[in-house]
Amino acid sequence: MHLTRQEEKMLDGEYGWANQVSMKILVRLGELFGATHLIPVQSAHLSGVSYKHMGDASIDFLTALAEGGGKAQTLSTLNPSSFDPTYLPKRYHRERLEKQSRIIDLYTRMGINSTLSCTPYYLRKPGHDQHLAWAESSAVIYANSILGAWTNREGSPSALAAALIGKTPNYGMHQAANRQPNVLVKVETSLQNEAEYGALGIHLGKILKDRVPVIKGLHSPSTDNLKQLGAGMASSGMTALFHHKTRSEKEKLETISIETKDIKEVAAGLCTTNEAPDLVFIGCPHCSLKEVKNVAGLLEGKKVRKDRELWVCTSRHVKERAKNYVDIIERAGGHLLCDTCALVTWIKDLGVQALMTNSAKTAFYAPTLNEVDVALTPLNKCIEAACR
């Protein structure tokens, strides 16, 4: 890999330990994956925030980096944590909150914004063709496929290294040649709702491996539905980019056909229970303003049952713009939670055994990450179940 003189000096430790170790990560990954040099990134988005997921071990490294002079060199944002500001702190042991605060403090000491959301693109939409270094697989696939930005699927440490250096090695999704579709997915069924879009994503993620699909047969899908599709693909597989706008292919691509029964099978396979839910969870990935509005519309004049909880998770940024809808949701007895979601907090410790969600990504992960049973069903049914 070609390095500038300044990059060489960083690698040799002349700019402190944090820069040196970050540079070592970027250069080694670049060499292993065939990068020629480092390119500047417009933003970095970091996973590895929730204490539930990170545990104590990560605190050691973050402390060393912060003490070693680490400072973000590009706009940098954080994934959700294990707590919202007001509701969950009352429900767990204090030590967990302290550990979580420590992790966030270490990041903010390094100049990283505590946005605590998996949808940084609602806060600041990256431009077409901008290079990014994002972790959080659902945000990566959204940025590449829907916004036309360029980012690899970074892991927690490589996104952090890119934030501190402000650059990333130019391999993978940063090369135009690697972004060309090489498999055609023909959807020969009409997808009914966001849960079905997510289920299609889970199905495709499992069979696509590292290929880049062009998906045809989606009838003017909303960006919210595409968000569910992408989140599903990125959860069950390694997909970082899909194409969906109809375009003529020069070469004939291998074709995968998707029929109604495929979607039904996958959606059914993601459900592990028919039991009534203890928790109904909307907002994986974090809700857009439109999605919060939809929830409020369905909840108007209703009450969430006393023996069930409804969580609607979003970013602080969206919450501030959704004041009226938030009021409706909270008046109905639902919880509008910022900075967190059901996957990254200890819902089992809250007594949750059965979770209902409209997110295929949550349905895919919750049985293992949270050890709860799951039912996947569209938003209107979720709200019905919460209030019935």
372 forms part of the interface with other proteins (CB under 8 A) = no
- Residue 225's Cα: distance from chain center in Å? 14
Q: Of residues 15, 39, 42, 58, which one binds other proteins by CB under 8 A? A: 58
Looking at the DSSP assignment, which residues form a beta bridge with residue 39? 168
- Site residues (CB under 8 A) for other proteins, limited to 72-131: none
55 forms part of the interface with other proteins (CB under 8 A) = yes
- Residue 370 to residue 367: CA distance in whole angstroms: 6
354 forms part of the interface with other proteins (CB under 8 A) = no
- Residue 106's Cα: distance from chain center in Å? 21
157 forms part of the interface with other proteins (CB under 8 A) = yes
Q: Of residues 1, 9, 42, 61, which one binds other proteins by CB under 8 A? A: 61
CB under 8 A: which stretch of 54-62, 205-213, 235-243, 344-352 binds other proteins? 54-62
Structure tokens given for 344: 């990254």
- Residue 114 to residue 375: CA distance in whole angstroms: 31
- Residue 83 to residue 316: CA distance in whole angstroms: 13
138 forms part of the interface with other proteins (CB under 8 A) = no
Cite the beta strand spans of the chain per DSSP E: 38-40, 43-46, 75-78, 133-134, 167-169, 183-187, 213-216, 255-258, 279-282, 309-314, 335-338, 354-357, 373-376
24 forms part of the interface with other proteins (CB under 8 A) = yes
Q: Of residues 10, 11, 25, 140, which one binds other proteins by CB under 8 A? A: 25
52 CB-side CA count, 13 A: 19
Q: How far is the CB of 70 from other proteins (least distance, A)?
A: 12
Q: How many CB atoms lie within 10 A of CB 166?
A: 20
Q: How far is the CB of 213 from other proteins (least distance, A)?
A: 23
Looking at the DSSP assignment, which residues form a beta bridge with residue 376? 357
- Site residues (CB under 8 A) for other proteins, limited to 227-246: none
> Would you give the DSSP letter of residue 38?
E
57 forms part of the interface with other proteins (CB under 8 A) = yes
Structure tokens given for 91: 């429900």
48 forms part of the interface with other proteins (CB under 8 A) = yes
53 forms part of the interface with other proteins (CB under 8 A) = yes
Nearer to other proteins, 29 or 284 (CB): 29
60 forms part of the interface with other proteins (CB under 8 A) = yes
- Residue 37 to residue 298: CA distance in whole angstroms: 51
* Alpha-helical runs (H) found in 271-350: 289-299, 316-321, 323-331
67 forms part of the interface with other proteins (CB under 8 A) = no
208 forms part of the interface with other proteins (CB under 8 A) = no
- Residue 211's Cα: distance from chain center in Å? 20
> Letter for the amino acid at 31?
E
Q: Of residues 78, 135, 326, 383, which one binds other proteins by CB under 8 A? A: 135
298 forms part of the interface with other proteins (CB under 8 A) = no
If we measure between CA atoms, which residue out of 79, 51, 102 comes closest to residue 159?
79
56 forms part of the interface with other proteins (CB under 8 A) = yes
Rg of the Cα atoms in the chain: 21
Nearer to other proteins, 105 or 188 (CB): 105
Q: How far is the CB of 153 from other proteins (least distance, A)?
A: 9
Structure tokens given for 18: 């944090």
11 forms part of the interface with other proteins (CB under 8 A) = no
Looking at the DSSP assignment, which residues form a beta bridge with residue 309? 279
Q: How far is the CB of 157 from other proteins (least distance, A)?
A: 5
Q: How far is the CB of 359 from other proteins (least distance, A)?
A: 19
CB under 8 A: which stretch of 138-146, 150-158, 214-222, 335-343 binds other proteins? 150-158
Q: Of residues 16, 69, 155, 269, which one binds other proteins by CB under 8 A? A: 155
Binding residue count for other proteins, defined by CB under 8 A: 23
- The contact set with other proteins (CB under 8 A) reads 21, 24-25, 28-29, 32, 47-48, 53-58, 60-62, 64, 135, 155-158
